[in-house]
Amino acid sequence: MVWKERILLHLGLMDINYAIRKDKPPSITETSLPDDVDRYEKWDRSNRLSMEFIKTNIPASIRGYFDQYDNVQILLKAIDEQFETSNTLALSQQDFQAK
């Protein structure tokens, strides 16, 4: 999928793809170590910026569907699944029309 490759390239070039490469760390608590706080804040910032960047590159007509996601990894998986469904449907329609 060319669209996804471009998005991932842009996020990498902007150095905000940390949340795509790393799983969400545990939430910050009163007993969190400074390194854990830094790691969470880095992930959170990357996640928010990545989400906004991706959503601004999704057509407005389908953007609302993806507003339910707050984790960029899950959002990308949902987009992949949406494209798989769309591609499968398009191929099925082509097969039907060819008959």
> Distance (Å, rounded) from C-alpha 99 to C-alpha 94?
9
Q: At what angle do helices 2-13 and 34-56 cross, to 10 degrees?
A: 140
**Full residue range of the structural domain in which residue 77 is found:** 2-23+30-98
Angle, alpha carbons 54-5-61 (nearest 5°): 40
What does the radius of gyration of the chain's CA atoms come to, in whole angstroms? 17
pLDDT tens for 39-76 read: 999 999 999 999 999 989 888 887 888 889 999 999 99
pLDDT tens for 72-98 read: 999 999 888 887 765 565 555 555 555
Total domains in the chain come to: 1
Q: Are 76 and 5 contacting, i.e. CB atoms less than 8 angstroms apart?
A: no
> Distance (Å, rounded) from C-alpha 22 to C-alpha 9?
16
* pTM above threshold 0.85: no
